[in-house]
Every structure is written in C-alpha cells, then in structure tokens.
Amino acid sequence: MIFDPFLIRAALAGVGVALAAAPLGCFVVWRRMAYFGDATAHAAILGVALSLAFSLSVFVGALVVALLMAGLVSVLADRGLAMDTLLGVLAHSALAVGLVAASFLTGVRLDLMAYLFGDILAVSWGDVAVIWGGAGLVLALLGWRWSALLTATLNGDLAHAAGIDPRREQVILTLALAVVVAVAIKVVGALLIGALLVVPAAAARPLARTPEGMAAMAALIGAISAIGGLWAAFAFDTPTGPTIVCAAAFCFALSAGLGGLRRREDG
C-alpha cells in the first residue's frame, strides 16, 4: 500500500513544498514577519474563490491575490502603521472576504475545506509538477539573492553601504512568499501554510550555527515532517495537512529540548 501512486504523489508534493518553505521560513523568522505568511495565505482563499468564479486555475488566482496582498502590506507598512496590527487587520479581513466571496459562487461546487486545510491525497501529477516548478523557482531566487537578502535582513544601512537596496530584497522575499503560498494551498491549505514556513525554521534554530546551516536544517525537518506526517495520517486515519504540521511541531519540541540541554552544558 505504501507504493500506491497517490501516496507517492502526496509525498512528492509535501516534500516539494517543505523544501521551498523552509529556507523562506528562515527569513520570515529572522525578519519577524511570521504573520506575513498567514496574511498572504488567508488572502489566497479570496484568490481561490475568484479563480473558480472566472474559471482560472486555482494556482494563478491564489498567486495573483497573494502578490496583491503582499504588495498592499508593504505599501501600508511604509505609511507607518504598526506591522502586527496591519497584518492582523489584513489577514482576517482577507480570509473573511474570501469566505464571503466563495458563498456567492452558486453552481460551482466549492469544497472550501479542501482549500482551508489542504487535500494532499488528492494532488495530481500536474499539481506535483506545479509544486516542484514553484519550489525550484523559489529556491533559485533565494539562492541567487542569498547574500544580499541576508545583508538586508541584518541591517538596512549595512546593505545600503554595500550597494544593496533593502527594499528590492524585500520585494524578492515577498514574491517568493506568494509563490510558496500559491503552490502550498493544495497541500496543507491556507490555514496551515504559515506553520510550514515558521515551525521547521524555529525547530532548526537551536541546531544551527550559521544562516545556511539553519536553512538546510529547516529543509530537512520540513521534509521529514511531510513524510512522517503523511505516514502518521495514514496509520492513524487523521487529516493529512494538520498531521504534517503536528509532525513539524513535534520536531520543534524535540529540538527545543535539545537546545535547552546544550545551553545547560555550555552554561
């Protein structure tokens, strides 16, 4: 049963999302924009509703709305609103507007639960291709801009002095975030994308000495969570997306414990 094609597709989809989300999640954590991921993801529900209404692909609809949302957050943040308040307003409003918009869709069967919580067991080979394509794009983007992104994350003025425009790097991160949200919405759903971004990165923190080490470790933890969660969901007959996030949370608990022990030894 473990070699059933749908399980292989699910595993590939989960691992693909985890690999792209993990290094991106590190930046999300370092820049303290954890809720930025949630805001973008919640907005994607609106994108799903719109794409069904206009018979576009869900990926395109989610991507466009996630990009718009990310742009809106950046513009409003420059106007001096506190980031946490802003994200709180936008994340929940976007989710609410998305759900209301979905209720207008008559005649189209919309399984909203599938987009809120994901349905990894239903991914097709086409979905797997989109996910790996998106993941590859995000990883290439991060790899290309890695040093500049890291410098801009450390300090905007240091970046300026080195000839790097921190705003441009912010745009690149935002772009990558929108792509990950759009490809991940089928796998873990809009409500849990934020978890796949933040939890593996947080779990990797105590185990890493360098930014690159943390990104690689987060990718590993993300991939293990995806496969472990898939297995556990099958074994215990639980919903797959949430089980994957539970597996990641378990990794976080383990590494936090390990980090605590190590600190005591250093102590």
258 binds other proteins (CB under 8 A): no
Q: How far is the CB of 222 from other proteins (least distance, A)?
A: 16
Q: Nearer Cβ to other proteins, position 51 or 153? A: 153
Check if the beta carbon of residue 122 is closer than 8 Å to that of residue 113.
no
Which one of 29-37, 66-74, 222-230, 231-239 is the stretch in contact with other proteins (CB under 8 A)?
Answer: 29-37
Which of 162, 253, 258, 261 forms a contact with other proteins (CB under 8 A)? 162
100 binds other proteins (CB under 8 A): no
Q: Nearer Cβ to other proteins, position 17 or 164? A: 164
202 binds other proteins (CB under 8 A): yes
213 binds other proteins (CB under 8 A): yes
Which of 57, 89, 113, 160 forms a contact with other proteins (CB under 8 A)? 160
210 binds other proteins (CB under 8 A): yes
164 binds other proteins (CB under 8 A): yes
Q: Nearer Cβ to other proteins, position 109 or 209? A: 209
Which of 68, 101, 139, 208 forms a contact with other proteins (CB under 8 A)? 208
Which one of 5-13, 123-131, 210-218, 246-254 is the stretch in contact with other proteins (CB under 8 A)?
Answer: 210-218
Which one of 47-55, 108-116, 145-153, 218-226 is the stretch in contact with other proteins (CB under 8 A)?
Answer: 145-153
153 binds other proteins (CB under 8 A): yes
Which of 129, 161, 253, 258 forms a contact with other proteins (CB under 8 A)? 161
Structure tokens, 14: 């989960």
| Residue position matching structure tokens 């849990």 | 192
Q: Nearer Cβ to other proteins, position 103 or 147? A: 147
Residue list 32-91, contact with other proteins (CB under 8 A): 32
For the chain, the DSSP string reads: -TT-HHHHHHHHHHHHHHHHHHHHHHHHHHTT-HHHHHHHHHHHHHHHHHHHHTT--HHHHHHHHHHHHHHHHHHHHHTT--HHHHHHHHHHHHHHHHHHHHHT--SS---HHHHHH--GGG--HHHHHHHHHHHHHHHHHHHHHHHHHHHHHH-HHHHHHTT--HHHHHHHHHHHHHHHHHHHTTTT-TTTHHHHHHHHHHHHGGG-SSHHHHHHHHHHHHHHHHHHHHHHHHHHT--HHHHHHHHHHHHHHHHHHHHHHHHHHH-
Q: How far is the CB of 157 from other proteins (least distance, A)?
A: 5
Q: How far is the CB of 81 from other proteins (least distance, A)?
A: 14
Cα angle: 149, vertex 155, 156; to 5 degrees: 80
Instruction: Let me know how long the chain is.
Output: 267
Q: Which residues bind other proteins (CB under 8 A)?
A: 29-32, 147-148, 150-151, 153-162, 164, 201-202, 205, 208-214
